[in-house]
């Protein structure tokens, strides 16, 4: 079962699970995802059922009880973008409801995805790429992300609900909305021959991970990495200036720079070592190849 399966990463996960011969139930309230993201999944065959439900509802809990999934993938733990306090609070309550349903109906494994940039504070360059400990929440999103990890640990210790929490770096790829990440935003600007807006001087770096690589780690976590927070990224840094050059080339307009806020991270990348050890996973798609697949 995939909660958030009509979203960007979720729909790619559904495609992969169907290709692997799995039966898939998609739970999504369609607040940010869309059925269009599942058009490929619905056309290729396989067993897929789409449920337009709030994951925190009693109806979703009943569905979990009826379907008894072997793995419950929760991809809606933290809202993307700049969520309001109410949205973050609702997301945490949803995670509690999902875990409680997993406890009641004895779901063997829950896999949760979290944004790595919210879990590790403002790291020094010398500490990059970052390992999984210690967790240092950055901002309110980070507090909710860290609380989600604590909640997973509590349910595992008290109720034997097994989990793996994946701290994803900056995932990009087809179907990503222009407001869903910097790669998609730059792609949209290049297509419109417009100048992208960059907060800061553009020298800040991020760890860009292609969606197929991220999905492979998520699937592997269904059977491995139990009880762990596992970073999923390339371990490599790319500046936003270099990213824009790779997308727009010499024909692109010069970016517009705006003053960065106090929450901006200067440099960021996560270590894939634990993922390599516990998930037998490593990324394989270069940034150049990944950008080519988005054109």
The dihedral formed by the CA atoms of 78, 81, 86 and 88, expressed in degrees to the nearest 10: 20
Looking at per-residue pLDDT, the higher value among 261 and 52 belongs to 52
Q: Which residues make beta-bridge pairs with 210? A: 172
| pLDDT surpasses 80 at 102 | yes
Is the pLDDT at 251 greater than 80, yes or no? no
Question: Do the bridges between strand 109-115 and strand 162-168 make them parallel or antiparallel, or are there none, so unpaired?
Answer: parallel
State the pLDDT at residue 295: 79
CB 247, CB 190: distance < 8 Å = yes
Structure tokens given for 213: 């690589």
pLDDT 10s digits, 38-55: 998 988 767 999 999 999
Q: Are 22 and 2 in contact (CB under 8 A)?
A: no
- Kindly list the distances between the CA atom of residue 99 and the CA atoms of 73, 77, 230, in Å, as whole numbers in the listed order: 11, 11, 19
**CA trace torsion 273, 244, 215, 38 (10° rounding):** 170
Q: Give yes or no for a cis peptide into 24 (omega within 30° of 0).
A: no
Predicted TM-score of the model (pTM): 0.96
Percent of the chain with pLDDT over 90: 90
Residue 197, strand partner residues: 256
CA 262 to chain centre: 24
Structure tokens at 289: 């190849």
CB 52 within 8 A of CB 27: no
Closest CA to 201 of 134, 260, 286: 260
pLDDT of residue 67: 95
Say whether domain 2-171+207-236+269-283 belongs to CATH 2.30.110.10.
no
- Categorize the per-residue pLDDT at 250 as very low, low, confident or very high, splitting at 50, 70 and 90: confident
Q: What's the rounded Cα separation, in Å, for the pair 295 and 292?
A: 6
Give the pLDDT of residue 183.
97
pLDDT bin (cut points 50, 70, 90) of residue 212 is: very high
Residue with the bigger pLDDT between 37 and 261: it is 37
pLDDT by residue (tens digit) across 19-29?
999 999 999 99
Confidence (pLDDT) at 81: 78
CA distances from 30 to 80, 110, 113, 207, 275 (A): 14, 21, 18, 28, 31
CB 124 within 8 A of CB 267: no
Q: Does the pLDDT value for residue 277 go beyond 80?
A: yes
């Amino acid at each position: 079962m995939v909660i958030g399966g009509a979203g960007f990463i979720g729909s790619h996960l559904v495609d992969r699970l169907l290709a692997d011969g799995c039966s898939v139930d998609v739970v999504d309230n369609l607040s940010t995802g869309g059925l269009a993201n599942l058009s490929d999944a619905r056309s290729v065959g396989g067993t897929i059922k789409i449920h337009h439900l709030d994951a925190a509802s009693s109806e979703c809990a009943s569905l979990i009880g009826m379907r008894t999934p072997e793995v419950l993938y929760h991809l809606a733990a933290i809202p993307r973008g700049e969520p309001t306090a109410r949205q973050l609070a609702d997301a945490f309550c949803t995670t509690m409801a999902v875990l409680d349903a997993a406890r009641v109906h004895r779901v063997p494994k829950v896999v949760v995805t979290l944004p790595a940039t919210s879990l590790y504070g403002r790291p020094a360059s010398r500490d990059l790429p970052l390992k999984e400990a210690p967790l240092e929440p950055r901002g309110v999103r980070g507090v909710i992300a860290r609380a989600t990890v604590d909640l997973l640990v509590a349910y595992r210790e008290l109720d034997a609900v097994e989990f793996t929490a994946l701290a994803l770096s900056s995932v990009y790829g087809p179907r990503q909305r222009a407001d869903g990440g910097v790669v998609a935003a730059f792609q949209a600007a290049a297509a419109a021959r417009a100048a992208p807006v960059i907060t800061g001087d553009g020298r800040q770096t991020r760890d860009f991970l292609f969606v197929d690589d991220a999905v492979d780690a998520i699937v592997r976590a269904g059977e491995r990495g139990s009880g762990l927070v596992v970073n999923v990224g390339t371990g490599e840094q790319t500046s936003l200036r270099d990213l824009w050059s790779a997308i727009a080339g010499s024909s692109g307009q010069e970016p517009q720079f705006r003053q960065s806020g106090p929450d901006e991270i200067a440099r960021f990348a996560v270590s894939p070592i634990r993922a390599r050890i516990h998930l037998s996973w490593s990324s394989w798609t270069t940034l150049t190849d990944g950008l080519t697949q988005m054109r």
